Structure 1
Amino acid sequence: MAVGVHHLLTGGDPGQATGKVMTAEEAVGRFVRPGAVVGMGGQNINRCPMALVHEVARQGVGDLTVVGCNLSLPLDLLVAAGLVVRTEQGSGNLERYGTLFAWRRAVEAGRVAVADHSHLTMASRFTAGANGVPFLPTRSLLGSDVLAALVAEGIAQVMDDPWGDGPVVLVRALRPDVSLIHAHRADPFGNVVIEGVTSHEVDMVRASAATVVTVEEIVPEGELNARPEEVTISGAYVSAVVAQPFGAFPTSVYRRYDFAEDEIKAYQALARHGDGTYASWLADHVLNPADFDGYLRRADPGGARRAALTESMRSHV
């Protein structure tokens, strides 16, 4: 392989890049710090970084600001664990499965501050951060109360288009301290392959100081060399790679497994009430298992549901 291409794929010296393979415990302990701005990958019930979020909760890393487009189940778990002080997001829900109940209660009680955006303005902020510019223009949110709040907070400004085509909104670049994503596969150097929709994740990762990625599998060194076009995110932007099959469960991974609707509905029923039963579930399923595999064994003893979800996805694609 040519030196330039090797550097692009590995992000530097190949001897150093092999150190990117870690356990979730090691990666979260090294890169997710108290008070961090955490970029959250995934959308709604698709490819959410559940294994990493469980590990953050187990380690009790708090005072977090969580940012993303649709902050869904991962955010609700972190809020329920008492680890979030602020969110910046386009939305916070599980769409047809309802709002995020733990997050909503915390916001209503004043325990979590919120900066509302549109999805486009959040994506634009990550794009600005990824490209090293202080802001990007958009027309999203013009005329809305959401925009007025962002202007008051210093996140956005309105100015006239210098070419005379009306007002535009300037949104500040957003550069997370660390981003958490789940993907299909990666090599030991951190080159990541995502199949299907990537949403805001590529720019969010490029804008971040560090990125931790869980993957369904780590492929052997050199396997991606002949197909560099498959690489969605270069290893130059990835700090740690964690092998975790079903690391997005109960959300889905395109071409791998479907979302677990029964698990999501059961979670929402517990979170809606937010009583001692919900607290017990959080302890038994998130905080007490030694790792994500322990959670999977508790949620799906024997793996029958995971096998069915895998077969369901195969029948859809």
Structure 2
Amino acid sequence: MHNLLTADKVMTAEAAVARFVRPGSVVGMGGQNINRCPMALVHEVARQGAGDLTVVGCNLSLPLDILVAAGLVVRTEQGSGNLERYGTLFAWRRAVEAGRIDVRDHSHLTMATRFAAGAIGVPFLPTRSLLGSDVLTALVEDGVAQVLDDPWGGGPVVLVRALRPDVSLIHAHRADPFGNVVIEGVTSHEIDMVRASAATVVSVEEIVPEGALNARPEEVTISGAYVSAVVAQPFGAFPTSVYRAYDFAEDEIKAYQALARRGGDAHAAWLAENVLGPADFDAHLRRADPEGTRRAALTEAMRSYV
């Protein structure tokens, strides 16, 4: 049996998704809004077609909409589902309105608390988030939350059930072959989500050589003990951004949102040509940016910020 800390975990996206994302899986989704979304991994999930998925996370943004458009999602548990100033997730919203997807609304803090409980191996954790809200009422009815009095006299508290995904998908800056991951900037819910998950697939901008992270171990955000597979994929978050690497592609996001809003044949054609059709994410990038000029511009734009 391989030692989890010294086993080489480098795989292709195709191999990693085939091994760890199975029909019926509860999938934890990394990224937030237009930042560091695991787009390459989500494209691969869509191509392989593992369905009946439950997708969980804080703000489920563009990755969720693509999986819904591909017909692979039956349930979501989330703090929100939108691209902020670029609008809601239109494919997801239509599916919810049509009754094709079961939705459990949370606050972001409640989702983060559920992942934290899973990460430390306890069945629940307390929070005061959602007290007095109809969202809490629905979660109590669903058996996800309970309201109890603080035994030390601090008033009511909400106990939320631990959430342990079958697999989580995240995109990060770099990792070594053993799965030790470095994320620069905001991490949101991802660290606890990964620690709570049975398996985690991480795509990265760069795989660094064995030992490259030894000199500065404090930079390691997620230990390789929690990572199942590492996929090398430069621009693996495109069209969302990666802090200090490249900016988000606003024109691409706006174009997608316009298609998703219309839905129908135009959106289906985009999905077929840009997600399901290309052999891999590199082929998708070449289709979206044949000369690499857009990627170069996004890289330069991020340099101007940091």
Same fold (TM over 0.5): yes
- TM category, shorter: over 0.9
- Counterpart Cα distance in 2 of 1:56 and 1:253: 21
- Counterpart Cα distance in 2 of 1:159 and 1:258: 45
Q: What is residue 123 of structure 2 aligned with on the other side? A: 134
- For residues 277-303 of structure 1, what are the alpha-carbon distances to aligned partners after superposition, in whole Å with 9 as ceiling and x for unaligned? 111010000001000001101111111
TM-score normalised over the length of structure 1: 0.95
The correspondence for 1:152, drawn from 122, 141, 165, is 141
Long gaps (5+) in structure 1: 1-6
The correspondence for 1:257, drawn from 237, 246, 250, is 246
Long gaps (5+) in structure 2: none
- Counterpart Cα distance in 1 of 2:59 and 2:288: 25
Report the AA paired with residue 283 of structure 1: A
Contact 1:11 1:234 in 2 (8 A): no
Report the AA paired with residue 220 of structure 1: P
Q: What is residue 83 of structure 1 aligned with on the other side? A: 72
- Secondary structure of 1:188's counterpart equals coil
Report the AA paired with residue 102 of structure 1: A
Alignment of 1:103-142 (within 5 A): 103-142=92-131
- Secondary structure of 1:268's counterpart equals helix
- Kindly indicate whether residue 28 of structure 2 is the aligned counterpart of residue 39 of structure 1: yes
4+ residue stretches of structure 1 with deviation over 2 A?
Answer: none
Report the AA paired with residue 78 of structure 2: Q
TM-score normalised over the length of structure 2: 0.99
Q: How many residues align?
A: 305
- Counterpart Cα distance in 2 of 1:275 and 1:266: 15
The correspondence for 1:245, drawn from 205, 224, 234, is 234
- Counterpart Cα distance in 1 of 2:130 and 2:289: 43
The correspondence for 1:307, drawn from 290, 296, 299, is 296
Deviation of 1:11 (Å) = 3.3
- Counterpart Cα distance in 1 of 2:98 and 2:139: 21
Report the AA paired with residue 38 of structure 1: V
The correspondence for 1:274, drawn from 250, 263, 279, is 263
Contact 1:121 1:171 in 2 (8 A): yes
Report the AA paired with residue 49 of structure 1: P
Q: What is residue 187 of structure 2 aligned with on the other side? A: 198
- For residues 105-142 of structure 1, what are the alpha-carbon distances to aligned partners after superposition, in whole Å with 9 as ceiling and x for unaligned? 00000000000000000000000000000000000000
Contact 1:49 1:247 in 2 (8 A): yes
- Secondary structure of 2:168's counterpart equals strand
Report the AA paired with residue 230 of structure 1: E
Report the AA paired with residue 243 of structure 1: A
Report the AA paired with residue 197 of structure 1: V
Deviation of 1:244 (Å) = 0.1
Deviation of 1:165 (Å) = 1.1
- Counterpart Cα distance in 2 of 1:168 and 1:279: 45
Deviation of 1:58 (Å) = 0.1
- Counterpart Cα distance in 1 of 2:299 and 2:50: 32
Report the AA paired with residue 298 of structure 2: L
Q: What is residue 236 of structure 1 aligned with on the other side? A: 225
- Kindly indicate whether residue 44 of structure 2 is the aligned counterpart of residue 55 of structure 1: yes
The correspondence for 1:180, drawn from 169, 173, 176, is 169
The correspondence for 2:4, drawn from 5, 11, 22, is 11
* Identity value in percent: 87
- For residues 129-169 of structure 1, what are the alpha-carbon distances to aligned partners after superposition, in whole Å with 9 as ceiling and x for unaligned? 00000000000000000000000000000000101111000
Contact 1:65 1:86 in 2 (8 A): yes
- Secondary structure of 1:127's counterpart equals helix
Deviation of 1:248 (Å) = 0.1
